[in-house]
Amino acid sequence: VIGKLPAGLEAPALRDLQDRCRGTDGLVAASAALDRQGRARDALAFAYRAAAKEPQSATAWNALAIAARAAGRTGLARRAAAQAQKLSPLGQQLPAAPGRRPGASFGGP
């Protein structure tokens, strides 16, 4: 739905999602959708909220790593990726950001 709503309705819908979302799935999905639209700062805000809301969620930290990288916040991206890896079940490698190979460093392209 993000990006498909009329301009005047999207901002209230995103605020409503932030305010009413119980878990982090919706926040992570919104972050990914905003990132795909090239809206890195907005994606980062949603991912940051997800990681803050569920600090034990590897998925939320991975979303934060991806959004931070897209926003040019490489230090934050590295820290978030390390936290995601730490929390990931069995230490498995999390998916890479679109256009990046799995396991690639968040410090470079």
CB 35 within 8 A of CB 67: yes
pLDDT at 11: 55
- pLDDT score of 35 more than 70: yes
* pLDDT one-digit tens code per residue, 97-107: 554 444 444 44
Q: Among 2-16, 30-44, 69-83, which range has the highest average pLDDT?
A: 69-83
Element at 9 (helix H, strand E)? helix 7-20
58-85 average pLDDT score: 94
**Total-model pTM:** 0.70
Q: What angle do CA 1, 98, 51 make, to 5 degrees?
A: 70
Beta strands, E only, 1-46? none
